[in-house]
């Protein structure tokens, strides 16, 4: 997960009495410990997550009977479904078999969270949406700040405040939404107050790809920040997109197996309706500041864009989202797309084969795959070249970018 979403999700767990916290920031120890229990052929996210969990097992006072690790799973075609069983095996082999691995699945839209499932799912969804919003504010402000570090400092400060709202127990969903809206308005105003020079012209780079590597700054060597230093601005595909996709898949499965007139379909529709409602309410507090950064109304829009290249009925997983989102961002005036994937990730490999056709259909929009395996590589040089290509594309593109009103030369933002 992305850092902000994970922090807020841990708050959602605490709100139902589970003493949750996020794993410590990944480090060289993470890769070393993860490397000791993997063969070298696994995906980087596996190595990073196992390494981080093992670091916790080595903390002073660690009690295996009082700890559970949260590691979702999936039944899709890739290796992610193996992460949780593999983690259980590693823990077993290390004499830590008492540690519980909590493992909800994307097959049932992550419904299987146990007794507090309903409440955790509701507030967990709010956590993911708010985490996405916070990340958007960070990415749209940081490239333009006048004093380096202002945005990141405010991001941390606001994250802490919002996490406290997430962790409040005994709040009905409507009261939690109301409190989150108030917190988001404060967050929005604080971001507006950061001294910044909003001048149009920076190349806008869309970041798509494998969800963990794309969102985890340790794994992707902080690509977004590097792009900003080279003069670009990033639009990062968010986490909610994946949840909407798993919902869509769940609906497809229900319809295929049982048709539309059954309890499962009704429950699914109600859940989706609620999720849309929460998302809409949370975005309402900040919508004006996100003009020009609008996500698709529904995931079907991305899937329709992907259809001519990777039909979503036949191709499962993030590859359809990466391809569809690339075309969506082209329409929003992006100047280049970087697909971030772990080395050997099948989603990245499939997309890499498709991207030349996608680029051809999008006025030769520059699209580049970047693979990460936890070993240092010269990502800076690759990005420098890519930013040059993006600038050349920017000069000849026909799809203009819509800038928010607070950019110079655009009407003042009305409060």
Spatial contact of 200 and 408, defined as CB atoms under 8 Å apart:
yes
150 or 352: whose CB is closer to ligand SF4? 352
Tracing tokens 């928010």 back to the chain, one arrives at: 404
Nearest Cα to Cα of residue 8 among 102, 178, 131, 157? 131
323 or 390: whose CB is closer to ligand SF4? 323
Helix ranges (H only) for 238-378 are: 240-258, 263-284, 299-306, 318-331, 346-361
Spatial contact of 130 and 162, defined as CB atoms under 8 Å apart:
yes
Tokens in use for 362? Answer: 């999008």
* Using rule CB under 6 A, residue 132 touches ligand SF4: no
68 or 316: whose CB is closer to ligand SF4? 316
Piece of the chain touching ligand SF4 by CB under 6 A; list 145-153, 178-186, 339-347, 359-367? 339-347
* Using rule CB under 6 A, residue 78 touches ligand SF4: yes
Shortest spacing between CB 92 and ligand SF4, in angstroms: 21
Spatial contact of 181 and 284, defined as CB atoms under 8 Å apart:
yes
Q: Is residue 73 classed as helix, strand or coil in its secondary structure?
A: strand
Nearest Cα to Cα of residue 87 among 114, 108, 106, 67? 67
41 or 115: whose CB is closer to ligand SF4? 41
- Which is it for strands 68-70 and 367-372: parallel, antiparallel or unpaired? unpaired
* Using rule CB under 6 A, residue 349 touches ligand SF4: no
79 or 176: whose CB is closer to ligand SF4? 79
Q: Fill in the DSSP letter of residue 395.
A: H
48 or 286: whose CB is closer to ligand SF4? 48
Residues 199-228 that bind ligand SF4 (CB under 6 A): 210
Binds ligand SF4 (CB under 6 A): choice among 247, 347, 359, 369: 347
* Using rule CB under 6 A, residue 372 touches ligand SF4: no
113-128: b or e for each residue (b if 16 or more CB lie within 10 Å)? beeeeebbbbbbbbbb
Tokens in use for 390? Answer: 């993006």
Binds ligand SF4 (CB under 6 A): choice among 91, 345, 351, 390: 345
Interacting residues of 111 by C-beta distance below 8 A, sequence separation 6+: 104, 117, 121
363: left (phi over 0), alpha (psi -120 to 50) or beta: left
88 or 122: whose CB is closer to ligand SF4? 88
* Angle between helices 173-193 and 263-284 in degrees, nearest 10: 30
Nearest Cα to Cα of residue 341 among 237, 226, 225? 237
Shortest spacing between CB 336 and ligand SF4, in angstroms: 22
Shortest spacing between CB 175 and ligand SF4, in angstroms: 37
Binds ligand SF4 (CB under 6 A): choice among 34, 45, 312, 324: 45
88 or 202: whose CB is closer to ligand SF4? 88
219 or 281: whose CB is closer to ligand SF4? 219
* Using rule CB under 6 A, residue 241 touches ligand SF4: no
* Using rule CB under 6 A, residue 397 touches ligand SF4: no
* Using rule CB under 6 A, residue 342 touches ligand SF4: yes
Shortest spacing between CB 318 and ligand SF4, in angstroms: 6
- How many residues in the shown chain lie near ligand SF4 by CB under 6 A? 11
Taking the C-alpha atoms of residue 126 and residue 174, their distance in angstroms, rounded to an integer, is: 11
Shortest spacing between CB 43 and ligand SF4, in angstroms: 3
Nearest Cα to Cα of residue 207 among 187, 224, 189? 224
Binds ligand SF4 (CB under 6 A): choice among 13, 53, 80, 110: 80
Binds ligand SF4 (CB under 6 A): choice among 20, 43, 71, 354: 43
- The H or E element spanning position 384 is helix 379-396
The residues of the shown chain that bind ligand SF4, judged by CB under 6 A, are 43, 45, 78-80, 210, 318, 342, 345-347
């Amino acid at each position: 997960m992305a850092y902000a979403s994970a922090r807020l999700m841990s708050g959602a767990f605490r709100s139902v009495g589970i003493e949750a916290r996020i794993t410590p920031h990944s480090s060289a120890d993470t890769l070393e410990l993860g490397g000791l229990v993997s063969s070298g052929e696994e995906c980087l996210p596996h190595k990073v997550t196992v390494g981080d969990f093992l670091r916790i097992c080595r903390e002073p006072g660690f009690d295996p009977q009082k700890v559970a690790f949260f590691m979702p799973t999936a039944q899709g075609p890739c290796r992610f479904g193996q992460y949780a069983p593999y983690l259980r095996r590693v823990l077993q082999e290390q004499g830590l078999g008492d540690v519980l691995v909590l493992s909800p699945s994307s097959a049932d839209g992550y419904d299987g969270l146990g007794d507090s499932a309903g409440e955790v799912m509701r507030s967990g969804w709010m956590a993911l949406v708010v985490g996405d919003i916070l990340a958007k504010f960070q990415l749209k402000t940081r490239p333009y700040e006048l004093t380096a570090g202002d945005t990141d400092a405010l991001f941390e400060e606001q994250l802490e405040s919002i996490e406290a709202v997430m962790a409040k127990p005994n709040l009905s969903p409507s009261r939690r939404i109301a409190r989150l809206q108030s917190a988001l308005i404060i967050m929005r105003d604080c971001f507006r107050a950061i001294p910044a020079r909003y001048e149009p012209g920076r190349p806008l780079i869309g970041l798509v790809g494998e969800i963990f590597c794309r969102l985890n700054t340790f794994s992707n060597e902080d690509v977004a920040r590097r792009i900003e230093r080279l003069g670009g601005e990033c639009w990062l595909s968010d986490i909610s997109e994946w949840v909407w996709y798993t919902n869509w898949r769940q609906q497809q499965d229900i319809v295929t197996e049982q048709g539309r007139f059954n309890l499962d379909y009704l429950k699914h529709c109600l859940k989706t309706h609620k999720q849309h409602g929460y998302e809409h309410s949370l975005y309402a507090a900040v919508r004006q500041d996100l003009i020009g950064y609008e996500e698709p109304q529904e995931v079907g829009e991305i899937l329709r864009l992907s259809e001519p290249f990777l039909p979503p009925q036949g191709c499962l997983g993030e590859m359809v989202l990466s391809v569809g989102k690339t075309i969506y961002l082209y329409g929003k005036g992006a100047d280049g797309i970087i697909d971030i994937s772990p080395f050997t990730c099948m989603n990245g490999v499939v997309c890499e084969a498709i991207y030349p056709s996608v680029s051809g259909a999008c006025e030769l929009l520059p699209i580049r795959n970047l693979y990460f395996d936890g070993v240092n590589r010269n990502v800076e040089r690759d990005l420098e070249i890519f930013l040059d290509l993006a600038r050349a594309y920017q000069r000849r593109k026909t799809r203009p970018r819509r800038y928010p009103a607070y950019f110079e030369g655009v009407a003042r933002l009305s409060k």
